[in-house]
Amino acid sequence: MFRQMRAAFVMSSDERGAHTCIVIDADPMAVRQALCALFDRLMAGRMSADARDAAQIVLAEALNNIVEHAYAQSPGEIELTIDISARGLNCRIMDAGAPLPGVGVPVGELAPLRPGDDLPEGGFGWHLIRSLSEDLNYRREGERNLLSFRISAQQYPH
Amino acid sequence: MQLDCTQTPDLMIVHLRETRLDAAGAIDFKDGMRDLTSADARRVVLDLSRVGFIDSSGLGAVVAVRKFLGPDRPLELAGLTAAVEKVFRLTRMDSVFIIHRNVPADAGSFRDVV
């Protein structure tokens, strides 16, 4: 039985690398490969190391949320659009999976850490996204989820 | 998942020889750590100096390792890079773990550090 292999992600950029579109299979390994391509090639030398770290953390959390939750029941694709300017990164992420529960972006509050309590192994994702991004917005458009945010080139100590 | 170990009579330093600890590798990491540490009772220091990126799944896996090691030998961390340190700080996990700034050149020089 011969199975045709297909790329885990497809990335296209304009000449200056200012506008990039990536279509990623909803799979953790595809997300890793897309982030590596994005940050090893496109983002190399752009913005400060601190801003690049922040951007990669936010993108990883947003993409992994979609893989784990929106596409928990069915495979699918994620479309990521990134515009790079002197001010930072503008990111838009679209998927055709299940909507976010509730009415909007989760609050992302960390569970309190009390001595003797069982330590949390999850629930960090939205907190990281909220801490490191600006203008975070989510809406449902027909059968699609649309998440957008900005990563400022100017990072402040957290 | 590349994990290897430097040992002294009372300490094992586990070196994670990967550049990323993320959602695609978190389960392998937990399994590998369990294999390396389950037949042993020594303190465990995890060397993360090669890891340039961690996400919340990777962080959750490190917390899980701390839990299965148990309260009598809490997992210690060493050599956090800037991006890894940022994730630990933002999630306040930097207050939970013993974090050593540097990974010692050899385990012997690290024996008395707490």
Q: Domain span at residue A59?
A: 9-112+122-152
The count of C-alpha atoms lying within 13 angstroms of the C-alpha of A81, restricted to the half-sphere facing its C-beta, is 7
For an interface test with A, the pick among B1, B28, B55 (most A C-beta atoms closer than 10 Å) comes out as B55
Q: What's the total number of domains in chain A? A: 1
What residue of A is the nearest CA neighbor of B93?
A: A113
Taking alpha carbons only, the member of B2, B17, B71, B13 closest to residue B44 is: B13
Of the pLDDT bands very low, low, confident and very high (cuts 50, 70, 90), residue B104 is low
User: In angstroms, rounded to a whole number, what is the distance separating the alpha carbons of residues A128 and A125?
Assistant: 5
Residue B99: CATH number of its domain: 3.30.750.24
Closest residue in B to A111 (Cα–Cα): B91
The string of pLDDT tens digits covering residues A88-109 is 999 999 999 999 988 788 888 8
Q: How confident is the model at residue B107, as a pLDDT? A: 52
The count of domains in chain B is 1
**Residue A114's pLDDT band (cuts 50, 70, 90):** confident
- Nearest by CB to residue A57, choosing from B87, B92, B95, is B87
Is residue A157 situated within a structural domain? no
Instruction: Tell whether A1 is covered by a domain.
Output: no
Residue of B nearest to A27 (CA): B24
Contact assignment for A32 to B83 by CB distance below 8 Å = no
Question: What are phi and psi for residue A29, nearest 5 degrees?
Answer: -70, -35
Q: Is residue B112 part of a domain?
A: no
B41 falls within a domain = yes
- A94: in domain: yes
Amino acid identity for residue B37 in this structure: T
Asked, for residue A158, whether it belongs to a domain, the answer is no
- In terms of pLDDT, which residue wins out, B22 or A7? B22
- Is A111 part of the contact surface with chain B (CB cutoff 8 Å)? no
- Does A79 reside within a domain? yes
Assign residue A108 a region: left if phi > 0, alpha if psi is -120 to 50, beta otherwise?
left
A-chain CB neighbours of B56 within 8 Å are 61, 64, 122, 124-125, 128
Return the ∠ at Cα B59 (arms to A103 and A21), rounded to 5°: 60
* Adjacency order of strands within the sheet including B98-100: B3-8, B11-16, B43-47, B76-78, B98-100
Is residue B113 in some structural domain? no
Query: Each residue of A9-52: pLDDT tens digit?
Result: 999 998 887 899 999 999 999 999 999 999 988 888 888 999 99
**Residue B114 CA from chain centroid, whole number:** 15
Question: Strands (DSSP E) along A6-154, which ranges?
Answer: 9-13, 19-25, 77-85, 88-95, 134-141, 144-152
Would A3 be classed as within a structural domain?
Answer: no
Mutation pick from B22, B27, B63, B81 vs chain A, by most beta carbons of A within 10 Å, is B22
Question: How far is B4 from B31, CA to CA, in rounded Å?
Answer: 13
Dump pLDDT digits (tens) for B34-85: 999 998 889 999 999 999 999 999 999 999 999 999 988 999 999 999 999 9
CATH number at residue A56: 3.30.565.10
